[in-house]
Structure 1
């Protein structure tokens, strides 16, 4: 067990289209992206109603009554006392990767874990025998037409073209826009020339929209989940009886069973009815536009990657799997056993807070803890553990202006389980 040293508050749109975020969170938008102004207006309305016990910036206690030592106070699982979890970033399924022999495992695992927040399943892309974390885009090899074993690729030589294999269909319009559809997972994605995008999953009802302005929203009726990110730096998250609000000015609120955290944005806040010192909450970074897809030929998947955010498994700065994470481990173990998975590699990753040596050790210990937890519930597959520390981020740890990016760091603190195609 390890205690993590952190000097600041912890908290994609990556074309690796849904490591859903979650994770990875994890946002696609309408055809024009023009609704970002409406989103900002919603953020203003949200902000005026969020803090019922006083306006943001007003402290309800004198400085002599404000606690600076927060040890012993209740906390959100996986976070430090007083820390409000960041609004999750969005990630998309990767349209460049087409599932192969492991598709049954991918689909069954996706179904089994689709209701667990902070957990995502995606087709894996590899460089040799190593899983590639992050972005991979489609590539082309000139114009032409190929058809083999039920797969058809048409490449027009200008970046436009089509791919179809009976399950996955990709249409690339050659101007950065594209359409992706997967009948096995019931997912569809539209990427627009403006950088806006939209994602839908008919099975789960999940819809994600990213707008040209950088605003975004996600709804998932099956999970009771809603996320809004406004181009003002504000945002809100609701899932069941948990609510998180970031007002964009340093203030915000967390509301969950038995725990209320209020950050006034002036260095003070409350944990339930205890007045405490709190750092301001960083504003949300606007989401980047979806990168254009330059060509048509997809990459063959080498297996499946299951990504678990650290807060799903571990307490803040520790490497012991929490008791309440055992159900997630057991669900995953059930899929491994029922499909007779022969082998898997568990890899720990961290963000860039603390020094490299410490992060490397923590990532190794967390990977080993997940292997031990899977074996403890009967997984017979050959499991290996490794740690990559902070060396393989999937999102920026800092924004372009050098400010902290808690949502990006949250995506980077993860455990990846790679199951090779079998």
Structure 2
């Protein structure tokens, strides 16, 4: 007689992988091996007149399923939303704004948004997609593209995007829900799982229940349990005896339900680090509309910037040009490159700083050029700019 079958069911949901392991019960005795029992009548366990669960031997039935922990990668990977790099404050230059730079993981300035550093490891970032706050003590909050993440710095945190909600309490306890699927982990080996008509209860002490439509499984943790699917009803008394649809049988006790795992804690946020400073020349400060010729009245402003670069001993800086979205991509790209090159030419004779020029056209807006399909002149004005990025000294 073969051992009981093992079934593996995989249920998936957005941001969550649930693995249900239906471990088979202990194999029932081979009918060829004669067993005597005064407690049972002369019923034949494998006889055709005894009902059985499809795929299982007489008296066997699937155990209460296990379910894995929710996939916490949403909280883990989203921690990068708090990785805001900022720079030291620069001496104010008339006609330009000076802000700490927002960089990506490679230290490259994104050219989008405004970052603020408060000197104690804390800071804020406001960009076109949302806001980020880092409180400098390992905790922080981000709201980006409708996703809200809270990291409390003690291993706990929350994630929600309007559909999926994850709560991690940092002590092994956590909840997950996405509207139809709900998972609760209580940290002591117990937990609950609900997905539509499917419900699993694991009490952490070997006891558990499973319900899915007409199918109901109970495991009492002492070798006994019950199964019913509307057609087959099995009672296992845990002492080697049982009943199938009223027919007494011999059956092995069932194994207790294993304990569940725990929610791992979330890593605390690191204090904000510096990648550099961005000096921004807003629209109209250096150039007339559509032109790459530096305005005569901008000469004094560039001279002031040159003195600041020299006084600060800046060895390298990157000049980038940016446009709004009016006109063709190719025309905007050419204009942005020409403007960046014009600034480099104007400063090169005044500083020892190694300057490089690059144009990004309309690809790095800091504000919306349109809102709900309607032109946004104020946003376009912010997007027309030239920036000088001064990386933090190694």
Same fold at TM > 0.5: no
Which has the higher relative contact order, 1 or 2, with Cα contacts under 8 A spaced 6 or more apart?
Answer: 1
Pick the structure with more helix per residue: 1
Q: Could you say which TM-score interval applies, normalised by the shorter chain?
A: 0.3 to 0.5
| TM score, norm. by length of structure 2 | 0.44
Structure showing greater Rg? 2
TM-score under structure 1 normalisation? 0.41
